[in-house]
Amino acid sequence: MEKIISYLENNFDNSVKEFFEYLRIPSISTLDESKDDIRLCASYLQEKFKSIGFKHTEIIETEGHPIVYAESLEAPGKPTVLIYGHYDVQPVDPVELWDSPPFEPEIRNGKIYARGANDNKGQNFAHIKSLEAWNKIEGKFPLNIKLLIEGEEEIGSPNLEKFLHTNREKLACDAVLISDTSMYADGVPTINYGLRGLAYMEIEVTGPNRDLHSGSFGGAVANPVNELARMISKLQDERGRIQIPGFYDDVLPVTPAEKENMTSLDFSDEEYKKELDVKELFGEAGFTTLERLWARPTLDCNGIFGGFTGKGAKTVLPSKATAKISMRLVPNQDPKKIAQLFTDYVNKIAPDRVKVKVTDLHGGSPVVIPIESKAIGIASAALEKAFGKKVVYTREGGSIPIVVEFVRTLNAPAILMGFGLETDDIHSPNEHFRVNNLKMGMFSSAYFFDEFARNF
C-alpha cells in the first residue's frame, strides 16, 4: 500500500493538471446546446479508462446521454466492486456571480474552482487515479472492477433505471461504491447512510390570452403571478408543515438510535447561521436542524418567473407565471404518490379565474442503508486508514435517485463514501473542491480496494 500511496502523492500535481482537462468540458446535461460537449466528455472518460488499464471499455447509448462503462474481471476469486458516478454537471447560471469562469478551473486558497469540481467530476476522478496507481504499481487491480459513469444524474437519471434492469448480470457485484456526497466536516471521514428522495414539479398558471397593460386592465382580470404566489403560500404553513393532504402519511419517524447519533454529532445552529448569514433558521417545528435536513421531508420553490424580470420597471399584467417546486422525500414516501397528491391539491386550490397546469418533471426515491453490513465495515476501516481518524455516519439532505435502484436491482449494498463539503457550493456559483480532499479521495479509494479485496 505504501508504494501506491507514494505514487499518488508524487504524481499529485500532475493529476490535478489532468483533472483540469476533465473540468474544462462543459457537460451540462439539462441543456440541449451541450449535447456535443456531453459526448466529448464521454469520449474523454472512455480514453481515460483505457489509459489506466481497462481493456474493456464502452460508450453505451441511451435515449438520452451516454453511459461510460469499463470493466476488469481479471481477479478470480476476488470480490467485484461497481463504482458509480456522473460526468454531467449542473448549469452555471447566474454566471455573473462566478469569480472565475466555470469551465476554466483555477486554484485559489487550496480550492479548485469549477463547475463539477466536487459534483461529481472531482469525486469520480479520485477513483480513476487510485485505480491508475494500483495498475501502475501492481500491474493489476486487486479485485474485479466495474466502472459506470453516467451523464444524466443531474436530470434525475431518466434512462439508467431501465439500463440496470436489462443488465443485471453485466452489473452484478458485491458492493456499489459511490462518492457523490459530503463529509460531515473537513478532515472527518464520513460514511453516508441515507439520501432523501425527490419529487420535482412545475406549476404553470395562465390568465389572459396575452400580456396586458397593467393600468388599462389591472384590477379587472386575475394576474397569474399574484395567483401563483397565493397558491404557493398555501403549500406550507408558518410552522414549516406541508399542507398537502396525505403528504406525511408514509414518513418513517426518526428512531431513538438515530436521534442519539445525530445528537452525538454536536451540530451548532449558531455556526450554521453565521456561515449562511441569516438571523434565524427556519424549518419544520419540533425538529432539530439535522433532523430537518436528513430525516424530514420538505417543499421548496426553486424558481418562479413570469412577467417582467429585467432591470428597472415595466408596467405589465403578465399572461403566464411559472414556479418550479421540489419536495425532498424520506423513507417510505413514494415520489409518484407524492407527485399525485401535490397535483390534486394544487388543482383543488386553483381558482377558476386562471388555468393551472401541473407537470411532474422527475423524481427519485429516498434510501436508508443499514450501516451494520460487512461492506460498510470495510469501507470504514479504509477511511480510518486514510484519514487516521474515526468515521462518522451521516445522512444527506440531497438525492442520488439511482442508489435505491442499485440496492434493489443488484441486491448489493451501496457504500456512500464522499469527499465533498456541504460548503463547496455545488450547484451554485463558485463551486469548488478542496485540493486536499481530492487527494484524500484518492488515498481512501486506494485503501478501500485493498481492504475490500482482502476482507470481503
| Contacts to ligand BES by CB under 6 A | 119-120, 153-154, 156, 180-182, 198, 364, 396, 398-401
| Interstrand relation of 144-150 and 67-72 (parallel, antiparallel or unpaired) | antiparallel
With contact defined as beta carbons under 8 Å apart, do 112 and 16 qualify? yes
Residue 15 or 179: the one with the smaller Cβ distance to ligand BES is 179
Strand residue runs (E) in 366-430: 367-368, 392-396, 414-416, 420-421
Residue nearest to ligand BES (CB): 398
Nearer of residues 192 and 343 to ligand BES, judged by Cβ = 192
- Taking CB under 5 A as the rule, does residue 424 contact Zn ion? no
Q: Which is nearer to ligand BES, 119 or 227 (CB)?
A: 119
User: Of 115-123, 217-225, 266-274, 429-437, which segment contacts Zn ion by CB under 5 A?
Assistant: 115-123
Helix (H) / strand (E) element for 201: namely strand 197-206
Our finding on whether 396 is near Zn ion (CB under 5 A) is no
C-alpha cell at 117: 469540481
Q: Least distance in Å: CB of 180 to Zn ion?
A: 7
CA gap 53, 122 in Å, rounded = 20
Q: What share of the chain is helix, strand, coil (3-state, %, to 5)?
A: 35, 25, 40
Beta carbons within 10 angstroms of residue 359's beta carbon = 13
Shortest distance in whole angstroms from residue 328 CB to ligand BES:
8
Nearer to ligand BES, 37 or 396 (CB): 396
Which segment (9-17, 117-125, 186-194, 319-327) binds Zn ion by CB under 5 A? 117-125
CB–CB of 160/36 below 8 Å? no
Interface stretch with Zn ion, choices 13-21, 114-122, 267-275, 442-450 (CB under 5 A): 114-122
Q: Does 150 bind Zn ion (CB under 5 A)?
A: no
- Contact status: 119 vs Zn ion (CB under 5 A): yes
Pick from Zn ion, ligand BES, none: which does 364 bind, CB < 5 to 8 A by kind? ligand BES
Choose the contact partner of 88 out of ligand BES, Zn ion, none; CB within 5 to 8 A by kind. none
Contact region for Zn ion (CB under 5 A) — 119-127, 246-254, 266-274, 304-312? 119-127
Residue 208 or 398: the one with the smaller Cβ distance to ligand BES is 398
**Minimum distance from residue 124 beta carbon to Zn ion (Å):** 12
In angstroms, the CA 9 to CA 16 distance is 11
Q: Residue 388: which residues within 8 A CB-CB, separation 6 or more?
A: none
| Furthest-apart CA atoms within the chain: distance in Å | 79
Asked whether the beta carbons of 391 and 382 are under 8 A apart, the reply is no
Instruction: Give which of Zn ion, ligand BES, none residue 182 binds (C-beta under 5 to 8 Å, depending on kind).
Output: ligand BES
Residue with cell 469499463: 70
- The smaller minimum CB distance to ligand BES, of residues 119 and 258, is found at 119
What is the residue type of 370?
P
Smallest gap from residue 200 Cβ to ligand BES (A): 7
Whole-angstrom distance, CA of residue 161 vs CA of residue 165: 6
Residue 230: count of CB within 10 angstroms of its CB:
13
Which C-beta is closer to ligand BES: that of 86 or that of 385? 86
Residue 202 to residue 156: CA distance in whole angstroms = 15
By CB under 5 A, name the binding residues for Zn ion: 119
